[in-house]
Chain A
């Protein structure tokens, strides 16, 4: 399948490595083949260069100009409710669930395992009903 998400001015990206990992930022300019200038005033990413290897492109694009000021980037970010949209998106939900999984305590992990076993048992029962007997 061809590329559908492109690196462009205004592309909202998710930082997946480094000190800013876990935050959303906006591509404000492209430095060279390997780096972009990103800014995330709303999400706490200081305007800085970021290697493309550290970011994942999201489905959201903001209509900002090249080298847009931080204040205007923040304005556009809030206008388009990117934080809310990201939270409701498939990727955003996946990220949030990973964060939740990593923060589970021992008791919570046990409860998850017990619930998983229960669910799997119900599925197996139903499957047995459908499966033809030899």
Chain B
């Protein structure tokens, strides 16, 4: 039986399915301590807050402990540990992907502008500093154990005889 072909070429309609955010691996839940594997904050132990709509993980140091601000991190660049911290006293529901969007600058690309001395870097917005403070207050305030504080301050480090595939986190 010969296959039937239409006389005109018909484009096959492909149904675009909505992307689901990446599955959280290792049973990660809010308050879990993660180890960052890449970037400026390599090795630092941070606290996971929530997964954002785009799939990235929202984490915070807290900033006072290890200098990690409210930050988006891809899951692949983290290692979840079994330690959990209480984050119920912290409100981070307003933070989403739009919070991290870069401010658009209206710069006309003219020759003068190109050769003009570079503008100073914009200072970190006060609103974001306030948000950082309020989110961290709810977390850091609840950490009473000095060992946990030290733990979050210390970087993760591999030493002789430590092999990641045998380590339990």
Contact = CB atoms under 8 A, between A and B. Distances in A.
Nearest to A103: B168
A131 B81 CA distance: 43
Contacts of A114: 147, 150
A2 B52 CA distance: 67
A113 to B, nearest CB: 8
Nearest to B35: A106
Main secondary structure of the interface of B (DSSP, over half): mixed
Interface string A92-134: 0000000000111111001100100000000000000000000
Contacts of B148: 107
24 contacts: A102-B166, A102-B168, A103-B168, A105-B81, A105-B82, A105-B83, A105-B168, A105-B169, A106-B33, A106-B35, A106-B81, A106-B83, A106-B156, A106-B167, A106-B168, A107-B33, A107-B81, A107-B82, A107-B148, A107-B151, A110-B151, A110-B154, A111-B151, A114-B150
A110 B168 CA distance: 12
Contacts of A111: 147, 151
Interface residues of B, number: 16
B47 to A, nearest CB: 13
A106 B166 CA distance: 12
Interface of A: 102-107, 110-111, 114
Interface of B: 33, 35, 45, 81-83, 147-148, 150-151, 154, 156, 166-169
Given A111-B147, A114-B147, A104 B168 contact: yes
A106 B154 contact: no
B74 to A, nearest CB: 20
A45 to B, nearest CB: 24
Contacts of B147: 110-111, 114
Nearest to B150: A114
Nearest to B147: A111
Contacts of B167: 106
B32 to A, nearest CB: 11
Nearest to A111: B147
A4 to B, nearest CB: 30
A114 B153 CA distance: 13
A106 B82 contact: yes
A55 B136 CA distance: 54
Contacts of A105: 81-83, 168-169
